[in-house]
Chain A
Amino acid sequence: MKNIHKNGNAKDNKSRTNQAKTRTQQAETRSDQAKTRTEQAETRTEQAKTWTMEQALRASELSYRRLFEAARDGILLLDVDTGRITDVNPFLVELLGFSHDEMVGKTVGELSPFKDVVSNQNMLERLQKDGYVRYENLPLETRDGRKKAVEFVSNVYQAGDKKVIQCNVRDITERKQVETALIRLAAIVESSDDAIMGKDLNGIITSWNKGAEKIFGYTAGEIVGTSVMRLIPADRQQEENRVLENIKRGNSVAHFETLRQAKDGRLINVSITVSPIKDVTGEIIGVSKVAHDITDRKTAEEKIRQLNVELEQRVAERTAELEVANKELEAFSYSISHDLRAPLRAVNGFAGIVLEDFGAQLPEEGRSHLERIRAGALRMGALIDDLLAFSRLSRQAVNRQNVNTVKLVQNVLDELRPQREGRQLEIQIGNLPVCHGDPALLKQIWVNLVSNAIKYTRGREPATVEIGCAPENDENVFFVRDNGAGFDMQYANKLFGVFQRLHREDQFEGTGVGLAIVQRIVHRHGGRIWAKAEVNHGATFYFTIGETKL
């Protein structure tokens, strides 16, 4: 406030004029005072305004800061002139593994994750020119070596009186992985030789791979959006409806084989697997179908079937032939059995009658010759019997069962007691495992081998016969060893032939059929037989019966 009253006692006129003047001045002064008051009020309003703006700005900055701090994207702020980092948000700190302090002050290019990828200078130039740079898929490595894919977007914007660069870094690693997996799956589907198609619940085809194109001849463009019935032969359309009904009801459909029709009308054998397609809520929205072309397999199967039929026919024919041959052989042996023996009986019988009725009238030599005639007939009878026994072996079925070898050999030794009568014979029996063969035939093997051993040790003192089994690889090898006459190994190949003998009849009697019978029995069991011997030092006969050791 100003003091405006100065002189109260001046001359009248002058004084009045002065008074008027003074009043005017006073009025002016009042007016000025009012003006000042107004100005003061205005100033106060301005001040209030400024305060409010500051408040708002502060609030905005705060919420921006919040966004910056809480964003699920990485954010970098750069100085527009130097390109140096002025601020980094916590998400990026976490993503890259570098601390806030480590990053601030550096250029983006100086940060190792971006080093090779973003040339700082290049980015700055583009930003200054376009105000915007975007890298869609930037591979980078975090401080601890994890591979990440990011989307990198930079903007320049005006912040008050200066320009700022803001870079947003979005981690798209998971999205990329999902995309890659999808691409891979799509590639697998696309490159499959099988036809893979999708259809909706009305049977409208929704997807169609290259395999489907190859098998059925339709391109995806031709067939997607049309009904799957185009592929199904008229007489099988019900089958498709059944499948769709089952899928809609949530039932599983077992893999099945059927016929489909290609674009050119050919019928194709396919094996089909059908599965429901569900949406995220689990509702069935369609069907996926994988069809495998099994035409080749079907052709092969048909060929195998035909070959089998042919084979069976041939087997039947061959069996019939064999049956005929067998019948003939039977008739032949029957005839030998009856007809060959009758004359022998006559030879032996009438020589005997001559001896009986006229022996007294004959000289000694004559009687001796008649005896030889009788002996010859008997021997031939024995040969015929052995030959028949031998030929019977081929016709006889082999009935395999478990056989107690110890008991079997003991029975054989008991039966051969007459042969051992009066002999100094030492028989050693080793370990004899159970075997699986025809008991009667196995017994024949042991009878023949053991009786041979007894026969060919005649004259040995002491004579020894060793019976045993030596497992070899996976087989039981049975053997009969003696210390008898033995034989020369150069004739070993003749041992098992019918009527083959390595000793003279007057040394060791026999028909030469025994070992042939043994060999045939062994062979009928699928086994092997062989011998080792030395003249005057005994022989060993080995055999297996074609069974795997138990």
Chain B
Amino acid sequence: MNQPNQTEILLVEDSQDDLDMTLRALRKANMANHIQVARDGAEALEFVFCEGAHAARKIENIPKLIMLDLKLPKIDGLEVLKRIKGDPRTRMIPVVVLTSSKEQNDVIKSYGLGGNSYIVKPVDFESFAAVVQKLGMYWLLLNQPPQT
């Protein structure tokens, strides 16, 4: 079912610390093989819409999951979410908002734009690792995406 080198998770995260901890948690759960990292909103969109550095990629090869931080340089997470969910070619991609913010506004906007989940990153390291692993487990293994 998986083609070689096909991206399973797009991880959009500007913080090196959070990125390292997230990757470590995924690695420990053996889910770190096909991960694409984007360090800001613009990079994320380039990848999703096969532009710039990712022009050679085919848009039909959608990732199984996008983990999206909200506070991002250049283009913020909500805008990224909006563009992905606003395009018929990409709106099927599950997007989990994974952020530090507990602001109700962010939660409401994210769901309003079609976000599939909203997860607050816990300060506690163990809880954080557990959250990342459960997310990967659910969307990559349990969830049944539509056939493309």
> Known: A337-B101, A337-B102, A345-B17. Is A352-B70 also a contact (CB below 8 A)?
no
Contacting A338 at CB < 8 Å: which of B24, B101, B123? Answer: B101
Check: B87 CB closer than 8 A to any chain A CB: no
Cα–Cα distance between A344 and B127 once the two chains are bound (Å): 14
Q: Which of A7-15, A373-381, A446-454, A512-520 contacts B (4 or more CB under 8 A)?
A: A373-381
Check: A339 CB closer than 8 A to any chain B CB: yes
- Interface flags for A336-358 (1: CB within 8 Å of B; 0: not) read 01110111111011111100000
Cα–Cα distance between A349 and B122 once the two chains are bound (Å): 10
Contact assessment for A345 and B18 in the assembled complex, using a CB-CB cutoff below 8 Å: yes
- Range of interface residues on chain B? 10 to 19
Contact assessment for B101 and A348 in the assembled complex, using a CB-CB cutoff below 8 Å: no
Contacting A342 at CB < 8 Å: which of B17, B103, B126? Answer: B17
Check: A388 CB closer than 8 A to any chain B CB: yes
Chain B's nearest CB lies how many Å from the CB of A348?
A: 5
> Known: A342-B18, A345-B17, A345-B21. Is A352-B101 also a contact (CB below 8 A)?
no
> Known: A339-B71, A385-B102. Is A353-B123 also a contact (CB below 8 A)?
no
Check: B117 CB closer than 8 A to any chain A CB: no
Chain A: interface secondary structure?
helix
Contact assessment for B124 and A378 in the assembled complex, using a CB-CB cutoff below 8 Å: yes
Contact assessment for A346 and B100 in the assembled complex, using a CB-CB cutoff below 8 Å: no
Cα–Cα distance between A353 and B124 once the two chains are bound (Å): 12
Contact assessment for B123 and A345 in the assembled complex, using a CB-CB cutoff below 8 Å: yes
Cα–Cα distance between A317 and B109 once the two chains are bound (Å): 29
Check: A530 CB closer than 8 A to any chain B CB: no
> Known: A334-B101, A338-B101. Is A348-B15 also a contact (CB below 8 A)?
no
Chain B: interface secondary structure?
loop
- Which chain A residues lie closer than 8 Å to B64 at the CB level? none
Chain A's nearest CB lies how many Å from the CB of B79?
A: 15
Cα–Cα distance between A526 and B106 once the two chains are bound (Å): 30
Contact assessment for A350 and B100 in the assembled complex, using a CB-CB cutoff below 8 Å: no
- Which chain B residues lie closer than 8 Å to A344 at the CB level? 123
Contact assessment for B125 and A353 in the assembled complex, using a CB-CB cutoff below 8 Å: yes
- Which chain A residues lie closer than 8 Å to B126 at the CB level? 352
Contact assessment for B103 and A378 in the assembled complex, using a CB-CB cutoff below 8 Å: no
Contact assessment for A342 and B100 in the assembled complex, using a CB-CB cutoff below 8 Å: yes
Cα–Cα distance between A388 and B100 once the two chains are bound (Å): 13
Number of A-B contacts defined by CB within 8 Å: 61
Cα–Cα distance between A339 and B121 once the two chains are bound (Å): 12
> Known: A348-B124, A349-B125, A385-B102. Is A338-B18 also a contact (CB below 8 A)?
no
- Which chain B residues lie closer than 8 Å to A348 at the CB level? 123-125
Residue of chain A at shortest CB distance from B99: A338
Chain B's nearest CB lies how many Å from the CB of A381?
A: 4
- Which chain B residues lie closer than 8 Å to A350 at the CB level? 17, 21, 125
- Which chain B residues lie closer than 8 Å to A333 at the CB level? 103
- Which chain B residues lie closer than 8 Å to A346 at the CB level? 15, 17-18, 21
Q: For window 89-146 of chain B, which residues contact chain A by CB distance below 8 Å?
A: 99-103, 121-126, 128
Contact assessment for B128 and A345 in the assembled complex, using a CB-CB cutoff below 8 Å: yes
- Interface flags for A365-397 (1: CB within 8 Å of B; 0: not) read 000000000100110010001001000000000
Cα–Cα distance between A127 and B101 once the two chains are bound (Å): 120
Residue of chain B at shortest CB distance from A355: B125
Cα–Cα distance between A90 and B24 once the two chains are bound (Å): 134
Contact assessment for A353 and B100 in the assembled complex, using a CB-CB cutoff below 8 Å: no
Cα–Cα distance between A338 and B72 once the two chains are bound (Å): 11
- Which chain A residues lie closer than 8 Å to B103 at the CB level? 333-334, 337
Q: For window 378-420 of chain A, which residues contact chain B by CB distance below 8 Å?
A: 378, 381, 385, 388
Chain A's nearest CB lies how many Å from the CB of B24?
A: 7
Cα–Cα distance between A346 and B71 once the two chains are bound (Å): 16
- Count chain A CB atoms within 10 A of each CB in B17, B71, B102, B125 and give the residue with the most: B125
Contact assessment for B102 and A345 in the assembled complex, using a CB-CB cutoff below 8 Å: no
Contact assessment for B125 and A345 in the assembled complex, using a CB-CB cutoff below 8 Å: yes
Chain A's nearest CB lies how many Å from the CB of B23?
A: 12
Contact assessment for B125 and A352 in the assembled complex, using a CB-CB cutoff below 8 Å: yes
- Which chain B residues lie closer than 8 Å to A343 at the CB level? 17
Residue of chain B at shortest CB distance from A334: B103
- Interface flags for B36-54 (1: CB within 8 Å of A; 0: not) read 0000000000000000000
Chain A's nearest CB lies how many Å from the CB of B69?
A: 9
Please name 18 further chain A to chain B contacts, defined as beta carbons within 8 Å, in addition to the given A344-B123, A349-B17, sorted by A numbering: A334-B101, A334-B103, A337-B100, A337-B101, A339-B71, A339-B100, A341-B100, A341-B121, A345-B121, A349-B128, A350-B125, A352-B126, A353-B24, A374-B125, A377-B123, A378-B123, A381-B124, A388-B102
List 15 A–B pairs whose Cβ atoms lie within 8 Å, in order of A's numbering.
A333-B103, A334-B103, A337-B100, A338-B71, A338-B99, A345-B21, A345-B123, A346-B15, A348-B123, A348-B125, A350-B125, A352-B126, A353-B21, A353-B24, A381-B123
- A-B pairs with the 10 shortest C-beta distances? A352-B125, A381-B123, A346-B17, A349-B125, A341-B100, A337-B101, A338-B71, A338-B100, A349-B21, A344-B123
